[in-house]
């Protein structure tokens, strides 16, 4: 840490890193001196970083801070209290976005009061950055272990994998009729590169109707992967956790590797010979992405409402004309 200003002024300006700066004011500093020192800080920052700095205010919101620098994010919370977790996450994300958008960008953490606030955010951001830098993982296989429930019309599961709510993989449709095994193994070749928020949904393709049912849904972040396997029990599987057709010992296993090559010693992960796979990707029931237009639904509903209101206005206008005209 490079301490630039100390004791010469009523504030402590410290370069935690080359791009993260801490500015601390004592809690009992009188208002007039605080405002004068605040102007001095703004002048120093502008002379060295021009308009490339973004200020995060960890204390109460103040208009004088905004007047000196329009690029201010207010994330304050009471002294000697733990900050809300969602506020920490939002601040870390905002810091990352700002710093990544330009190599000249710097972040300024402003605090008047308890210096511990700055320490909390710096520690949180260091941990957040470590998670963000975790390399992606390759997923070559997924296995469902259970006495899979059977239907009178057969059981035809298929999988969809989403990364940050974007569809990245759709499996074929598996036909488990005649299979006596207790597992379903989905082999992904080449191995799928995954990073960040991941969601896996298993569906059952109905035979007698162009419909599908959700069998289970599971979500995780790749930063939670510590090893080559990630297991989820029945209680951790949405939909399946309350489905009596899933036995209590049902599990879903993900296999990960550091590269796209096959993992040696995992050849046992094979389906029963009676299991067949239909890779017909033109089936609209399989291809349909239920999250593709998620952000457009509200807009679409408003468009429909607007059309309805126009039509209703037109009808009311005609009714009024009918009442007025002889």
Rounded Cα distance, 151 and 213, in Å: 12
User: What mean pLDDT, rounded, does the chain reach?
Assistant: 79
Rounded Cα distance, 123 and 82, in Å: 13
* pLDDT value for 143: 77
Q: Per-residue pLDDT averaged across 83-104, rounded?
A: 92
Strongest mean pLDDT among 120-124, 191-195, 263-267: 120-124
Q: Which residue has the higher pLDDT, 309 or 226?
A: 226
The answer to whether 225 and 137 are in contact (CB under 8 A) is yes
Note whether 56 and 92 are same-domain residues.
yes
Tokens at residue 167, please? Answer: 């569809």
Cα separations in angstroms, 154 against 28, 185, 187, 298: 74, 18, 22, 37
Rounded Cα distance, 118 and 143, in Å: 45
Residue 222: domain span: 137-292
Q: Per-residue pLDDT averaged across 94-112, rounded?
A: 94
pLDDT at residue 98 tops 90: yes
Counting the structural domains of the chain, the total is: 2
Closest to 124 measured CA to CA, from 162, 157, 164, 83: 83
Rounded Cα distance, 25 and 113, in Å: 7
Rounded Cα distance, 60 and 75, in Å: 8
For residue 111, indicate whether it is catalytic: yes
Cα separations in angstroms, 33 against 39, 42, 106, 153, 225: 10, 14, 26, 79, 51
> Domain for residue 6, yes or no?
yes
Note whether 115 and 222 are same-domain residues.
no
Q: Per-residue pLDDT averaged across 284-309, rounded?
A: 59
Closest to 194 measured CA to CA, from 223, 215, 170, 218: 223
pLDDT at residue 95 tops 80: yes
Note whether 101 and 216 are same-domain residues.
no
Which of 111, 139, 185, 202 is catalytic? The answer is 111
Q: How confident is the model at residue 160 (pLDDT cuts 50, 70, 90)?
A: very high
Closest to 54 measured CA to CA, from 86, 98, 84, 100: 98
Q: How confident is the model at residue 211 (pLDDT cuts 50, 70, 90)?
A: confident
What's the CATH number where 21 sits? 3.90.190.10
Q: Which residue has the higher pLDDT, 148 or 129?
A: 129
The strand pair at 276-278 and 173-175 is best described as antiparallel
* pLDDT value for 238: 92
Note whether 141 and 283 are same-domain residues.
yes
> Domain for residue 157, yes or no?
yes
pLDDT at residue 308 tops 70: no
What's the CATH number where 214 sits? 2.60.40.1110
> Domain for residue 175, yes or no?
yes
Whether pTM > 0.85 for this model: the answer is no
Q: Per-residue pLDDT averaged across 137-142, rounded?
A: 76
Q: How many CB atoms lie within 10 A of CB 279?
A: 9
């Amino acid at each position: 840490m490079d301490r630039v200003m100390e004791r010469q002024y009523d504030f402590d300006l410290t370069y935690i890193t080359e791009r993260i700066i801490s500015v601390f004011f004592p809690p009992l500093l009188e208002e007039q001196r605080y405002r004068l020192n605040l102007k001095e800080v703004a002048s120093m920052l502008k002379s060295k970083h021009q308009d490339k700095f973004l200020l995060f205010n960890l204390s109460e919101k103040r208009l004088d801070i905004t007047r000196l620098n329009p690029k201010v994010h207010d994330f304050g919370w009471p002294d000697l209290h733990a900050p809300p977790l969602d506020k920490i996450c939002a601040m870390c994300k905002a810091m990352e976005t700002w710093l990544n958008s330009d190599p000249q960008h710097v972040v300024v953490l402003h605090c008047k009061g308890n210096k511990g606030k700055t320490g909390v955010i710096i520690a949180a951001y260091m941990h957040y950055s470590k998670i963000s830098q975790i390399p992606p993982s390759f997923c070559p296989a997924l296995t469902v272990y259970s006495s899979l429930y059977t239907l009178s019309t057969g059981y035809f599961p298929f999988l969809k994998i989403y990364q940050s709510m974007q569809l990245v993989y759709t499996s074929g449709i598996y036909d488990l009729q005649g299979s006596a095994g207790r597992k379903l193994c989905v082999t992904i070749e080449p191995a799928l590169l995954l990073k960040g928020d991941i969601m896996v949904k298993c569906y059952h393709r109905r035979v007698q109707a162009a419909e599908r049912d959700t069998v289970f849904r599971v979500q995780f972040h790749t930063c939670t992967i510590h090893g080559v396997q990630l297991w989820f029990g029945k209680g951790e599987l949405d939909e399946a956790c309350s489905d009596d057709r899933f036995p209590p010992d049902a599990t879903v296993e993900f296999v990960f590797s550091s590269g796209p090559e096959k993992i040696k010693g995992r050849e046992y992960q094979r389906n029963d010979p009676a299991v067949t796979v239909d890779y017909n990707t033109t089936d609209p029931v399989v291809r349909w992405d239920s999250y593709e237009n998620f952000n457009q639904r509200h807009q679409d509903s408003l468009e429909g409402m607007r059309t309805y209101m126009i039509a209703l206005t037109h009808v009311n206008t005609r009714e009024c004309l009918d009442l007025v005209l002889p």
